[in-house]
Amino acid sequence: MNSVLRFEDLRRYFEGGDGRYVMETGNVPSGSVLTLKGESGSGKSTLLKTLARLLEAQGGTVYLNEQEWLGFSPQEWRTKVHYVSQKPVIFKGTMEDNLKIPFRLKSLQDKILDINKRNFTWMN
């Protein structure tokens, strides 16, 4: 089965300069979900934020559908790989209003959100 997302020796040092880091290798096969388990402070959120390019990786490589992630601009990558926080921020308005907020960004102004689909997808 093909991997949608694959990462090899992905590394990110923790802040604080004590030399601790997260380094992981893994893949997410098509149709599956990535689940992380670990102690508090073990780097789960750091790994996910790094995969979403919200934090800069300090080593390793990531592939999306076998394309290396550095071939995508950060903005383009973030339209394909999302990080959802454990403590999401909800803005004033309906859930639909909240889902439409990213479409105000310049890089998504030519896209619309099809809220009638079970899995939200970009539509041109």
Domain harbouring 54, CATH code: 3.40.50.300
What domain range includes position 69?
Answer: 1-84
The answer to whether the CB of 74 falls within 8 A of the CB of 105 is no
Tell me, yes or no, whether 13 and 59 share the same domain. Answer: yes
Tell me, yes or no, whether 51 and 37 share the same domain. Answer: yes
Tell me, yes or no, whether 78 and 96 share the same domain. Answer: no
Mean pLDDT of the 105-109 span: 66
Mean pLDDT of the 62-71 span: 94
Q: Count of domains in the chain?
A: 2
Assign 124 a pLDDT band (cuts: 50, 70, 90).
very low
User: pLDDT tens digit string along 40-62?
Assistant: 888 888 999 999 999 999 999 99
Assign 79 a pLDDT band (cuts: 50, 70, 90).
confident
Tell me, yes or no, whether 40 and 72 share the same domain. Answer: yes
> For residue 6, what are the CA distances in angstroms to 10, 37, 67, 96?
10, 18, 10, 31
Mean pLDDT of the 59-80 span: 92
Q: Is the pLDDT of residue 74 over 70?
A: yes
Tell me, yes or no, whether 79 and 100 share the same domain. Answer: no
More confident residue, 79 or 39: 39
Q: Which residues pair with 25 in a beta bridge?
A: none
Tell me, yes or no, whether 51 and 17 share the same domain. Answer: yes
